[in-house]
Chains A and B, each alone.
Chain A
Amino acid sequence: MIDTTLDGSGAASAAPARAGYRFRRRSRALRRAFPYLLVAPAVCFLLMITLYPGAYAIYQSLFYVKFNTWQFVGLDNYRDLFADREFWAALWNTLVIGGTALILECALALLIAYYAYRDPWVKGWRIIFLVPMLFMPSAVAFIWKLAFMDGRVISDLLMRIGLIESNIGWTSSVWLSRLTLIIADVWQWTPFLFIIFVAALQGQDEEIEEAARLDGASWPAIFWNISLPMMRPVIAVAVVLRGIDITTMFANVFIMTRGTPGGSTETISYFIYRIGFKTFNFGYASAASFVMLVITLVAAQFVVKRAFRSGRD
């Protein structure tokens, strides 16, 4: 059901035992180089968007960029960055908003997957639950901006059921403002995890469950003690993928809050965008980009590799 290894069963060696006619006539060197040649175009293309920007960011981050004059300032941009309240706030906001959304999404997706996977209409549920995910993220941001803020719909509904007495100032409160971003994210992306979890649950061996049933275990107990542990690798992969997207959250911030109040909803992506393209301080934005690049690469080494390898042994 899960395959996260690189050593798939079908992998052949670089020199297949019975290499093809034309292939056999070529030189040994070419034969050895062949798999590299196959993968090279993709790698080169990707280097263009990673290596080149990385090098560029490092170089530019050493300058104060003002029009055509690049004034060399050494590591000043980094010194300023590490002393910049807004930079640390952006990192923290990304962690808090993303972390909360991810935990909620995971819990909700497991809950509805638990109820859905044994339901006879699971296919129908899947299609319905998919709907939010298939809207453009920028459209989703507008839906919730209108519902929470400009159109006052959420406040109005809460007033109608008597929970509050006046319109809520979502953008004035740190946590309410973050909450709007979290709800928008949960609404759109819980289906992502749900689809994966349901597939994983459906793929599990029914007989194990049946055996547990016969032993008198309840469904919640079976889910908790048997299904869930078996799903761990899947959950890891799904959470890592979702976590990656959450940490790069941009459109919701850009459209809904723009960092209000006081920067408490400014994510790191929005921070870099704002410094670079709203105040045109490119050297400084590059310094922030480079720091993020390092964090990303470190995280990629540990988190992603582990998650995608977890099914191996």
Chain B
Amino acid sequence: MRISGKLSRRSLLKGGSALGLSAIGASWGGRLLAASQLPDPQSVLDDISISKYVRADYRDLYGMSDDKPIWDKSKDWIRTADWEAVRSQLSGTTVRFAIGAADQESAAEALAPFEALSGIKVELVPIPDDSFYDKAIAEFISGNASFDALQFFSPWLGDFAAPGFLAPLDDYAAKWKLPLDDFYDTYRLNYGYFNGQMYGIPFDCDIQMVHLRKSLVEEVLGGPIDKWNSVPSYDELIRLSAELNGKKAGVAGVGLLGARGFWSTYTWEHIAAQAGMVLFDENWEPVFNGDAGMKGMDTLLALSKNAIEGFAGAGWGENRAAWLGGQVATNISWQDSGTQAMRPDQSQIVDDFVTIYEPRIDGGRFAPPNIAGSTSCVAANSQNPEGAFLMLAFLTTSSIMAMNEANANGVAPGYKSVLNNPNLQEVSQPAEVWAKSLEYAWCAPRLPGMFEMEQAIGNEINRALVGQITGKEALENATATVRNIMDRNGFYGGQPPVDYAAVAPGLWIGEGKALPF
């Protein structure tokens, strides 16, 4: 995942669009076909295939072909949907889709098959990069949004859903049989639901993981890496990274995201979650400065001693470059650092890394962190909410998501049937561990003001990482700021905007489950 990418441009089927997709789009030429002239759905669906969507060089590299499907046909919504019913109800209508910046062409190409299947015309509304949030809000407020559907950074879900800017999707999901059960709970609950109602279809389904450089780590461990047992705990990762640090010239012990703002927050949350940290108690009082939060902070500070020299300024882009360039021996980042490291056009460590299970912390829990990610929603004032919903269902269908992963374009599938697919696991190194980990995922609640809070927490943690204040002070300061923001958002006077009971089930999916090994 790449947050700035999510906040801004691109990534919608980027890899695929460059290749076969334009051909698919072209074959139906004009848009707005009358229902009677629409092509046979089956012929359109047959073209949504590995040979047309996945980059040729990656197909050759991993021997991908349509004979080895990377998704489950029976769970692929576009192949189970009743397109004749869609056409008879909505053919000839229009859906406007807000899409980040530069990728409107590739999105247009990606959506051409949807237009052919449904008879619904899709208009793309380009939305500003850094002002995506602001522009979306402005349009929502005006009551006359220029778009029906949009895809955005999931921590904003609370900000958008609480004031009523988004349309509830429960009825459409039931009517069109969206395979919600195929989504891992952590994505369904946290990217899909707000306050007990469905507002989103999970789009980019991220998780943070720990990646190791195989050759270097095996040399230190004296044997092959076991994904569960070799680095069983963060204490071991601290020890290991210390030993790895500088073992090979120019290679640091560990890479992590320690830049100001949400980057630091996410890295700390990742580790603290393993110690049992929760952000709020049931009265919405911030409690992350407790023992678990401090344990996470101490662990992070200890790890940072062995970290690459630029960690305090590292956001996703810097961390990714250092990892793929071979500057670090272990790395704490999103799963796509694992997928992209397999691709020789992007990476210098192609066969020399492995993604492992989340290290544990004594007295803590196994809670691999589902952090950031993006979701897709329909505007409350949409003129064509049902058409918008169907378009999003098409874009997030499991076959297209599986091929995004095969293209390593950073848009990640959140489907059980995809991540557990053995053919997919061959082209996505993290997928196997990722699939098992998601059953235990941790996630921060989606609340109004959450993004602002994530920024504020990270600014304090960054100060601690560079030694300007202690870890304790950072969490105390952050707690005070977070309480202030929660207060401004109305969490303490009278009825809070979000019921704690509504978010509780999504916070840690692993509750009460036995460890996988």
Contact = CB atoms under 8 A, between A and B. Distances in A.
Interface residues of B, number: 39
A262 B462 contact: yes
Nearest to B461: A262
Contact of A150 (B246, B312, B322): B322
Interface in A136-181: 149-150, 152, 155, 166-174, 177
Interface in B243-272: 246, 250, 252, 259-261
Given A67-B141, A260-B260, A263-B463, A168 B468 contact: no
Interface string B442-462: 000000000110011001001
A279 interface: yes
Contact of A172 (B327, B456, B466): B466
B80 interface: no
A150 B310 contact: yes
A36 to B, nearest CB: 39
A93 B469 CA distance: 18
B224 interface: no
Contacts of B259: 258, 260
A263 B246 contact: no
Interface string B133-170: 11001001100000000000000000000010000000
A76 to B, nearest CB: 11
Nearest to A85: B477
Contacts of A66: 488-489
Task: Give the interface SS of chain A, mostly helix, strand, loop or mixed.
Answer: loop
A170 B308 CA distance: 11
A50 to B, nearest CB: 23
Scoring A67, A152, A173, A257 by chain B CB atoms within 10 A of each residue's CB, the highest score goes to A67
A263 B313 CA distance: 11
Contact of B310 (A64, A169, A264, A280): A169
A226 B372 CA distance: 64
Chain A residues touching B, range: 20 to 34
A261 interface: yes
B89 interface: no
A67 B309 contact: no
A260 B313 contact: yes
Contacts of B466: 171-174, 260-262
B321 interface: yes
A171 B312 contact: yes
Contacts of A281: 452
Residue among A66, A167, A261 having the largest count of chain B Cβ atoms under 10 Å? A261
Nearest to A68: B141
Given A67-B163, A150-B321, A278-B455, A170 B260 contact: no
A277 interface: yes
B88 interface: no
Interface string A169-213: 111111001000000000000000000000000000000000000
Given A167-B252, A258-B313, 5 more contacts: A149-B318, A155-B309, A169-B312, A171-B312, A174-B468
21 contacts: A68-B141, A86-B459, A149-B310, A149-B313, A150-B321, A168-B309, A171-B313, A172-B311, A174-B466, A260-B259, A260-B260, A260-B466, A262-B260, A262-B462, A263-B462, A277-B130, A277-B134, A279-B451, A279-B455, A279-B456, A281-B452
